[in-house]
Chain A
């Protein structure tokens, strides 16, 4: 049983085709890295899993994406509920202009939860999950903007975890962070694997090598190679993959 299945996925911005016939099956409790040069469509692909591309006018998707065996683009699918199940972490830390507590509680509140005690508990567990609790427990009522960039990004991960998704999408989550914060986030990704299925877009080959179990290499909207990360990094079947990984183009 796969967590996410992408079957013959095509994607168009207006007339131009951004993704061509992509087939990948993601196993539960794994980290999959999507790599490839800028503009290869990896971010676009990632954003299909929580239907974030719906927000862009004049786009079209072909093929099927199944999560837990259900077609998420089928008629009658509730997008809000889908997004509750599929959390997302963005390139730059983007906390809301609210307190630290309210940032994490946000997803619960917009999903109709009003029980104060429940929210408090969930906020605490989520912040603990991202190993931020000791740093912020005394200033939960302060603005999230007061945290450092690395702390903000972990807060954003906690915010995604609070609504207990089963899939987490990460769009270059460390591209705006310093090396120490990056290391912390990577460590976190590794630990989160036990409970979640993670798909991460990254520019950083070392990062892909460190955190992921499987890797997909995209180029010009096509899936070039997909497989075990170790295999892809040590013994890629396709020359273009090797060229990219070893930095000969990109």
Chain B
């Protein structure tokens, strides 16, 4: 038996490829379509709701009217609180991992544990935060407990992005600095960190985006169902955007009437994520080009 007819075979291969590539392309674009549908639906339904009043007013009439001011403030507090905790520790940990510790068992353990932490579901963080911060340490349902819980969740993200940023710094910079008699910390703080800085900030922005949308970890550590006043200390409970959206779309006093508020809240959350992503991408591109030109 010899090979089948050359032309027929070629045609068949071409046809198969055409069909396969067509299907792949279709499926890929359908993913983009899903994203576009979700975004445009929420923007379409929410854009009419958002106004200056919406973001600066207290909720009214069983959360069917008024704004989402306390939820926005609550989320800002939580994001700020968690980053005050997670950002410095994450960056320091990444510096230690990338600049100081040598390959070996310790590095392996820390790496493994960081990976494990990253894989733990957010609801488990909620359980943990509740039993450690709320109960054991006695913080109660509070911004402090919520921020710490969210901070732990964000920690692996910060560590990973910082490590990548540090790895991207060419070793010649380090050697040059050490060759000039600089110590390890001088080299790290004056040479490595400034070069890695833009990428570290990109990681920070992405973790802010992630933290601001997390719901499960704050369910039992801070979130208030309805609290029409602003928190005055870190031991206060607070409302938060994602929990607010959950509440008014599933268990509010009047789900139908509060739908517009829900769309508006969803849109605010989406806007936060969009800004974080655009900012991160913009930074990456801007500094990426800059580094390449040098």
Determine whether A and B are in direct contact in the complex, meaning some CB atoms lie less than 8 angstroms apart: yes
Which chain B positions have C-beta within 8 A of A78? 6-7, 10
Which chain A positions have C-beta within 8 A of B3? 111-113
- For residue B1, CB closer than 8 A to chain A, the reply is yes
Please classify how large the interface on chain B is, using the bins under 10, 10 to 19, 20 to 34, 35 or more.
under 10
Count A interface residues, CB 8 Å.
8
| Binary interface encoding of chain B residues 1-17 relative to chain A, with 1 for a CB under 8 A from any of its CBs, else 0 | 10110110110110000
Partner of A113, one of B1, B6, B10, B13: B1
Which chain A positions have C-beta within 8 A of B13? 80, 112
Contact yes or no, B10 A80, CB < 8 A: yes
- A43-97 residues with Cβ-Cβ distance < 8 A to B are 78, 80-81
Which chain B positions have C-beta within 8 A of A80? 10, 13
Which chain B positions have C-beta within 8 A of A81? 6, 10
Shortest beta-carbon distance from A166 to chain B in Å: 14
Given contacts A78-B10, A80-B10, A80-B13, contact A112 B1 (CB under 8 A): no
- For residue A2, CB closer than 8 A to chain B, the reply is no
Which chain A positions have C-beta within 8 A of B6? 78, 81
Shortest beta-carbon distance from B290 to chain A in Å: 24
Q: Is the interface of B mostly helix, strand, loop or mixed?
A: helix
Contact yes or no, A118 B10, CB < 8 A: no
User: Complex formed: what's the CA distance from A80 to B17 in Å?
Assistant: 12
- For residue A239, CB closer than 8 A to chain B, the reply is no
- For residue A138, CB closer than 8 A to chain B, the reply is no
Contact yes or no, A111 B9, CB < 8 A: yes
Shortest beta-carbon distance from A237 to chain B in Å: 43
- For residue A115, CB closer than 8 A to chain B, the reply is yes
Shortest beta-carbon distance from A50 to chain B in Å: 16
Closest chain B residue to A164, Cβ basis:
B3
Contact yes or no, A115 B1, CB < 8 A: yes
Which chain A positions have C-beta within 8 A of B1? 113, 115, 118
Which chain A positions have C-beta within 8 A of B9? 111-112
Closest chain B residue to A117, Cβ basis:
B1
User: Complex formed: what's the CA distance from A80 to B6 in Å?
Assistant: 10
Closest chain B residue to A113, Cβ basis:
B3
User: Complex formed: what's the CA distance from A78 to B4 in Å?
Assistant: 15
User: Complex formed: what's the CA distance from A112 to B10 in Å?
Assistant: 9
Shortest beta-carbon distance from A152 to chain B in Å: 26
Which chain B positions have C-beta within 8 A of A112? 3-4, 9, 12-13
Shortest beta-carbon distance from A44 to chain B in Å: 26
Shortest beta-carbon distance from A82 to chain B in Å: 10
- A89-147 residues with Cβ-Cβ distance < 8 A to B are 111-113, 115, 118
User: Complex formed: what's the CA distance from A78 to B3 in Å?
Assistant: 15
| Binary interface encoding of chain A residues 192-215 relative to chain B, with 1 for a CB under 8 A from any of its CBs, else 0 | 000000000000000000000000
Which chain A positions have C-beta within 8 A of B10? 78, 80-81
Shortest beta-carbon distance from A150 to chain B in Å: 30
- B193-245 residues with Cβ-Cβ distance < 8 A to A are none
Which chain B positions have C-beta within 8 A of A115? 1
Closest chain B residue to A115, Cβ basis:
B1
Task: Give the one of A80, A112, A115 with max B CB within 10 A.
Answer: A112
| Binary interface encoding of chain A residues 206-239 relative to chain B, with 1 for a CB under 8 A from any of its CBs, else 0 | 0000000000000000000000000000000000
Closest chain A residue to B5, Cβ basis:
A112
Closest chain B residue to A108, Cβ basis:
B3
Shortest beta-carbon distance from A195 to chain B in Å: 17
Which chain B positions have C-beta within 8 A of A111? 3, 9
User: Complex formed: what's the CA distance from A115 to B10 in Å?
Assistant: 18
User: Complex formed: what's the CA distance from A80 to B272 in Å?
Assistant: 50
User: Complex formed: what's the CA distance from A18 to B129 in Å?
Assistant: 64
User: Complex formed: what's the CA distance from A81 to B13 in Å?
Assistant: 11
Shortest beta-carbon distance from A179 to chain B in Å: 35
| Contacts from B to A (Cβ < 8 Å) | 1, 3-4, 6-7, 9-10, 12-13
Known interface pairs A80-B13, A112-B13, A118-B1; 16 further A-B residue pairs with C-beta atoms within 8 A, sorted by A's residue number: A78-B6, A78-B7, A78-B10, A80-B10, A81-B6, A81-B10, A111-B3, A111-B9, A112-B3, A112-B4, A112-B9, A112-B12, A113-B1, A113-B3, A113-B4, A115-B1
Q: Which 8 A-B pairs have the closest CB atoms?
A: A78-B10, A115-B1, A112-B9, A112-B4, A118-B1, A81-B6, A111-B3, A113-B3
16 contacts between A and B (CB under 8 A): A78-B6, A78-B7, A78-B10, A80-B10, A80-B13, A81-B6, A111-B3, A111-B9, A112-B3, A112-B4, A112-B9, A112-B12, A112-B13, A113-B4, A115-B1, A118-B1
